[in-house]
Amino acid sequence: MHRWILDADGAPARAHAARAPGDALAGVIGSIGTANFGTEALASLNAALPVDSWSIYRVHRHQPPRLHASGSFGIPDTTGECFRVYRAGLYQADASFDPVHEAAPGAPAIMTHWSADELGAAHREQIYLRYGMRERLSLILAEPDGGLMSVNLYRHEHQRRFDDAEFEWAQSAARWLLACVTRHIELAARLGVEACPEADEPAVAPLAHALERLRRRCPGLTARETQICERLLRGWSHDGIASDLGLSVATVKTYRNRAFDRLGIHFRSELFSLAMHTGEPTH
């Protein structure tokens, strides 16, 4: 793993002086606020930094990550599938953002580089090996609410590894690219543009239908038990649910156990299965 603390103006890209950040990012700027930002902006970025896929998401310590855009260039797009796997639980054990929290306080942005073999076994096997990804270069911005916005650039198995000159170029472009992404997220929210809505919700979406299936199966579920199940289906951790509902973690687990007993299940995976399929009511 490598980490760079980026200053406000970015680092000079000596080896890529002929490919200034503004030239490559002109197309990124033109894609801001559009539903196709994930694919169009990546295509423009590839003129300077060849990457097969990317993802832009926000992470918090006790809430599921939220995907804002993703896409692929020159290969079938599996970024939505990758994010669904990550959001279903892998994010809870993801230590790849720890170097950001350990960086100097107040650093404008951080750049990190990870090879697949440096990541945790589950993360590596379920995403990187399964989808043929070999490296991730991330530009990460700390946000006022304690969350992190991460722009992740992926190299796949058939591509060569990132080199020092490309690291330098990425540092020089970081300030502009992060500004473009931040502006896109703000504008897309205002315009109601959702580039990848299906990747940001669990596979049981729409959630309202999933909860209705649970109520039909078990009319005896209490309001609090339903609230717990809803957040479990969204991928929340027990800590996140406790914080959101103003409960202790132990109380959250107690309500979870009661709900699972009523539903006749033992694991979260069974909850997802019930929410996706109708079944005979239980009492």
* Nearest residue to 93 (alpha-carbon basis) of 127, 52, 70: 127
What number is the average pLDDT over the span 202-225? 78
Integer Cα distance of 233 and 201 in angstroms:
9
Per-residue model confidence (pLDDT) at position 280: 44
Same domain, 61 and 170: yes
Q: What is the CATH number of the domain that holds 159?
A: 3.30.450.80
Question: 238 lies in which domain range?
Answer: 204-276
Same domain, 138 and 254: no
Beta-sheet strand order (sheet of 133-142): 2-6, 109-115, 133-142, 148-156, 53-60, 63-72
Average pLDDT, the chain: 83
Contacts of 173 (CB under 8 A, 6+ apart): 10, 13, 21, 24, 25, 48, 49
Domains in the chain, number:
2
Same domain, 120 and 166: yes
pLDDT (tens digit per residue) in 127-153? 999 999 999 999 999 888 888 999 999
pLDDT (tens digit per residue) in 18-68? 445 666 788 899 989 888 899 999 999 999 999 999 999 999 877 889 999
Residue 115 or 277, more confident: 115
Per-residue model confidence (pLDDT) at position 281: 41
pLDDT (tens digit per residue) in 64-97? 899 999 999 999 898 988 998 898 888 888 888 8
> Per mean pLDDT, which range of 19-33, 112-126, 187-201, 239-253 is the poorest?
187-201
Is 282 part of any domain? no
Is 182 part of any domain? yes
Would the pLDDT of 260 be above 70?
A: yes
Per-residue model confidence (pLDDT) at position 1: 76
Residue 153's DSSP bridge partners are: 54, 137
Per-residue model confidence (pLDDT) at position 236: 74
Residue 277 vs residues 143, 264, 274, 280: alpha-carbon distances, Å: 39, 15, 5, 10
